[in-house]
Structure 1
């Protein structure tokens, strides 16, 4: 009887697990393996596949103009990562600490901080496009109303401000996620440790640097790793706010946009090359996997030391 029950339970578990596994295999594993395969072929969609070996990788990394496009997109992704490290994760830690101190209206503030995260990226993109509009956008109107009209400008239309404008939109959109992760880590700090610190010092800075930050190291590992992966997979916001070409003049171009243009073409380029696009996708995938693994390993080692 017990064996029958165990057999039935195993069958039920199999029924529950197999459909999701098939879904993952079809829409995740198969595309990844296909990209690895197509990366070694010259294929533009309608013609037959021609095996070219490592030529696509060489073209993307060393042949102009692809080399310049790759460097520019990669540089912008690096800027996005470090900027969001400060704006998104840094601000998230500060907000988490403020919420952890149980300020008046803490529940309302938690909801308000996390609310932008549940908004669609498309909604956030178009909302900030309206904010940044050069004629009737909230940003320029506000600057003019306080006598700083000379600062008003087309924020998404200039190379020096376009990328940073999109980064600010991204930080506003996702700051709630690291806030809640850090807050969860802070709430797990034993009360005895906090009581001992209060007896020794009144300094908030000492409490943060010597107690809070070391004890939320596991939370930091999560948010830093996910931020790195997200920063180098960035696509939706720059696509909607800057366009597929990374306008103006490539200042908002990132690896995701560059891959899409290369693989599927666009109006200005008028070409598509699945082989080059797949090679670029493989390079991006391997770079993210290796660096994310390194970051996770180093941060976990830091957790053990702390």
Structure 2
């Protein structure tokens, strides 16, 4: 019995892709293009838009009144990303490896509890952790006291040296479920035949993980890395919900997202400037684009060659 082969016609592709392309174009591509273009304009004395070339970018990068704030936000954003890379992804890998072990009791319950904060509003998360870490009415000092570490408690969110680190750890706590589940799914996809053959050859569980499972999930680890990079350099909501647009104390938690908000919309004594704000957004886009480009050129190609 012969089976009919159905060929997809061009008009069918257009029909099915048109709704998604339309939504993407209207709500993503066009606003992005408009923002990128607006960064090359400024307002004249009458408030009309005039072409300014690279003047807005020169102001942000070189003008003393703006460049210090921009580079401070860039450095803080890099620290924010580094803490996630050093804590979130390795711990997510460890948790995923633990939960992928066969016969582990309560694995589903623990996975759900760890992933649950990811589903909560960032505003709620920020408010809860403000209460926990408050030196006046928070329970953080009491919780540390139960472990005999009460003397280590400090107003971490109120100190310039520790505020960004504290917020980064809160963000890690909230979103650690994402890399955990992605890596967990990748570990489940490792063929059982390979693992069983290694067991037969006398390989230990640790050796199986390092020499068999880990190389097979390199593409997923690369995906987790680039998703972490993009999310961190687009971050805004947690800093804003806890520290406001000024990202205090003394801009120690200021990142590119909060800098863009103050520049574009204005805040308190600072008057908003849509053209300078668009330039900041363009620089954010270029930073993310450069990071993604480096990933695909330097990492993804090697992973593809390794898989082949």
Q: Same fold (TM over 0.5)?
A: yes
**Aligned: 1:162 with 2:163:** yes
Query: In the alignment, is residue 244 of structure 1 matched against residue 216 of structure 2?
Result: no
- Give the match for residue 122 of structure 1: 123
State the TM-score, normalized to the length of structure 1.
Answer: 0.90
- In the alignment, is residue 283 of structure 1 matched against residue 283 of structure 2? yes
How many angstroms does 1:26 deviate by? 2.1
Aligned to 1:193: 194
Q: How does 1:174-253 map to 2 (within 5 A)?
A: 174-253=175-254
Q: 3-state SS of the aligned residue for 1:160?
A: coil
For 2:3, the equivalent position in structure 1 comes to none
SS of 1:50's equivalent?
strand
Distance 1:118 1:240 in 2: 16
SS at structure 1 position matched to 2:252 = coil
Rounded to whole Å, the distance in 2 between the matches of 1:23 and 1:287 is: 25
RMSD: 2.3
Q: For residue 3 of structure 1, what is the aligned residue in structure 2?
A: none
Q: CA deviation at 1:264?
A: 1.0
* Preserved CA contact (<8 Å) 2:44 2:50: no
Cα distance in 1 between the residues matched to 2:89 and 2:83: 9
Alignment of structure 1 residues 265-284 onto 2, 5 Å: 265-269=266-270, 271-284=271-284
More displaced 10-residue stretch of structure 1: 17-26 or 162-171: 17-26
Structure 2 equivalent of residue 88 of structure 1: 88
Distance across 2 between alignment mates of 1:227 and 1:188:
22
Provide the rounded CA distance (Å) in 2 between the counterparts of 1:82 and 1:12: 42
Residues 77 and 232 of structure 2 are in contact (CA less than 8 Å); yes or no, is this contact kept in structure 1?
Answer: yes
Separation of aligned partners in 2, 1:164 and 1:225:
21
- The Cα shift of 1:268 comes to 3.4
What SS does the aligned partner of 1:276 have?
A: helix
User: 1:101 corresponds to which residue?
Assistant: 101
Preserved CA contact (<8 Å) 1:59 1:67 = yes
The change in CA–CA distance for 1:46 and 1:150 in structure 2 (over 3 A counts) is farther
* Residues 61-104 of structure 1: CA deviation (Å, up to 9, x unaligned): 11112111111101011111111012111110000000000311
Seen in structure 2, the aligned counterparts of structure 1 residues 76 and 17 have a Cα distance that, compared at 3 Å, is: same
Query: Which residue number corresponds to residue 151 of structure 1?
Result: 152
Matches of 2:45 and 2:198, distance apart in 1: 65
The Cα of 1:244 is off from its aligned counterpart by: 0.6
**Matched-pair contact (CA < 8 Å) for 1:99–1:106:** yes
How far apart are 1:138 and its partner, in Å?
2.0
Q: For the residues of structure 2 that align with 1:130 and 1:201, how far apart are their CA atoms?
A: 52
Distance 1:46 1:256, change over 3 A: farther
- Gapped regions of structure 1 (runs ≥ 5): 1-5
Q: Contact conserved, 1:221 with 1:296, CA < 8 A, in 2?
A: no
Deviation, 1:150, is 2.9
SS of the equivalent of 1:65 reads: helix
Question: How far 1:280 sits from its partner (Å)?
Answer: 1.2
